[in-house]
Amino acid sequence: MLRSYSRLFQRYPTIFTLTRLPTARLQTCHFSISSTCPTEGLRDFGLPNATWGPNLRNLYDKFLDLTNTGLWRRIPSHNTTVNHLEGIGKRMFLRNIDEDGVGFEYCMFYNKAESRMVCLFQPGPYLEGPPGYAHGGSIATIIDSTAGAGAVYTCGSVMTANLNINYLKPIPLGCTLLVDSYVEKIEGRKVYSRCHIQSHDALILHTEAMALYIKLG
């Protein structure tokens, strides 16, 4: 694993600059989201659209390239986590705005060997908190969703029990970010994950977080 990681690092140094490796290889389970969440006919929002800036598109292309190694896979993204979009319908929080680019614009990639979920994120203007910057709650949302999805893909269904965030540098709206999470350890039903948010060029560390997920069922 270490060797393959080194190869990727040499190829894409800016993506991996701030990354820490999981301390140990974790026991994972095979969880298939598609078996519980029919996605037929639903739009995959994790694909490029016209609102994606060049930095987001560039990072997306690099990670898509990494999927050819077999280590990474792109995670489809729909506006529902279960098949309940009948009538008025319900929406997953991150996908509850119809217009592209104004809310959470993101896509995710998962590396099973590293129990790692990466989210490429471009916060839109509707996420504003301080003038021109992302609201802390929207930052918590993308962290929980990234690390939570990583925990789900690693261990199966989970709920967030605790989320601890250090906001280090404000996040300008419209910028491109790399949200990088991994499952650090699993103790019984408790799944501990770490996550950080860095700028697309890895020059700024915006946010660090730790999360505790509890396995269900």
Ligand X SMILES: CCCCC/C=C\C/C=C\C/C=C\C/C=C\CCCC(=O)SCCNC(=O)CCNC(=O)[C@H](O)C(C)(C)COP(=O)(O)OP(=O)(O)OC[C@H]1O[C@@H](n2cnc3c(N)ncnc32)[C@H](O)[C@@H]1OP(=O)(O)O
Binding site for ligand X (CB under 6 A): 33, 75, 81, 92, 144-145, 148-149, 152, 158-162, 188-190, 212, 214
* Whether 185 contacts 24, CB under 8 Å: yes
- The residue number with the shortest CB distance to ligand X is 148
- The least CB distance from residue 129 to ligand X, in Å, is 19
Nearest distance from C-beta of residue 126 to ligand X, angstroms:
17
159/168 with CB nearer ligand X: 159
- Residue number, 6 or 49, with CB nearest to ligand X: 49
By annotation, the residues acting in catalysis are 144
Q: What's the per-residue H, E or C state across 186-206?
A: EECCEEEEEEEEEECCCCCEE
CB 6 → ligand X: shortest distance, Å?
28
- Do residues 141 and 83 lie in contact, with contact meaning Cβ atoms separated by under 8 Å? no
Half-sphere exposure in the Cβ direction for 25 (13 Å, CA): 4
Comparison of 4 and 160: residue with beta carbon closer to ligand X: 160
